[in-house]
Amino acid sequence: MEPRRPFDPLHPAPIEPIPSPLRPPSQYVPRNDETARVLKEILDRLTTIENKLKTIEAREDKKVTTSLVLMARQETWGRQ
């Protein structure tokens, strides 16, 4: 067995090819129910996080819009 050479970012070791969706299904490792359950749980958690972030962004947008409206009103009232 050859000794492992040190990592060189300019000459990385070859990587395994990405499985093609065109390969026959027999070449894929079958997933068991536990794996599918874990993947679904991860997807559900990511979806929840995404929805929370959207809610936060919407609140921030509303705060900015409200602030701009208040500033515009103050400028208008100040001119009168």
pLDDT, tens only, 16-53: 766 666 656 565 566 678 888 888 999 999 999 999 99
Domain ranges, ordered by start, for the chain:
32-79
- Check residue 31 and give its pLDDT: 67
- Check residue 32 and give its pLDDT: 78
Report the alpha-carbon distance of residue 59 to residue 65 in Å, rounded.
10
Q: What is the pLDDT of residues 51-80, one digit of tens each?
A: 999 998 888 888 888 887 888 877 777 655
Report the alpha-carbon distance of residue 29 to residue 23 in Å, rounded.
12
Alpha-carbon distance values, 6 to 3, 16, 23, 76 (Å)? 9, 19, 34, 68
